Structure 1
């Protein structure tokens, strides 16, 4: 679970500029339900210049020991046999203080859950980037980014594709010193807004966290006397608030 959380990326590209784009992709975790094949992802630009954004996708694979790897998607000569996630469009021109959307389309088998890293990378457009702008427009944009220093920030999100026959089966074991949730289903379960606080002092709390329990995995924590653990167990569209005393 911690390894999966580490896959959420935030990275920077430095360019010379005064005016600058500033993109926001909303949630960094998105979920495609078993009966859906497309997902609309909106990208916002709160900056004061146009954002040119490339969308890149990698598949996340997990080794037997739980280690995550990001690998390029396999390309098929026959596009009808495409297997994986694609973005349409994969190049976005987002105006200042505006919004654009891209549809994430999954094509392939849905017998098991799959995971993808979707990167939204702001760039200074070049000819090979295939943005629908002229050479003059590219040069004008570069000149507008030449008088100072700014940071172009990109985001990496995690996209979960649930199996067609989605099944939730969370088994809870609440022993005197330990609390455990095992995911016996076939799709991810979310532990949202996990809070570890003192019973006597509500201000004495650990940072709120979010956890993903992949199919076949377990989430557990040691209960301590005088502490209270509050969180929401999310299974798709269903959610349940839980309160556990140490």
Structure 2
């Protein structure tokens, strides 16, 4: 890599770490940057998944005050690990084309769920009205689906997790975002282990991008705590819409 390529990856890592902490979707900044320096798509996707992990950890550190003291939170972590492993296996063992066509609709659907959260809650019931058993099963299912996606591709993972969790948890959006950061870090650690062992990781690119996402992730997490819920929701919906449309354009253009 020359100096201009290093500068591009550092800038992309800083931006991606911040965006991931605020709304999710930062991988759509680093992934094209890795493609731009000459990596093929699969190595770029794998290297990208490894690179953003430090940013997720920094986001957890920045939002730790908003994490609930809820025993059930830690019961989500094995589900997140299993779902991520399934997604990683899908990426390494199956053709990507069919899933690439589905991903944009998943992202746009998750964004719509968040945008119309209140009407949907009136249809399916407010989380406070659900039985403890039904709420537990629903949250576990949301986490399983989101982390399979995260292990496979990962871009807009934050949007999908926030949308699903906000629908089934009776919590503020800042607290949901903190839970999203923790689950994203678990996804990131799991993909790091799987792809380090079995994936075509470009470690030189990771060494440049990862420290930048660490700084951006902490800054973004601190920013979330200062944003009013309406502004935070609007940002996430806007990011999700742009990301979904971009992925759709890219998938249909191939």
Higher relative contact order (CA 8 A, sep 6+): 2
User: Which has more strand, going by share of residues?
Assistant: 1
User: Which has more helix, going by share of residues?
Assistant: 2
TM-score by length of structure 2 reads 0.30
TM-score by length of structure 1 reads 0.31
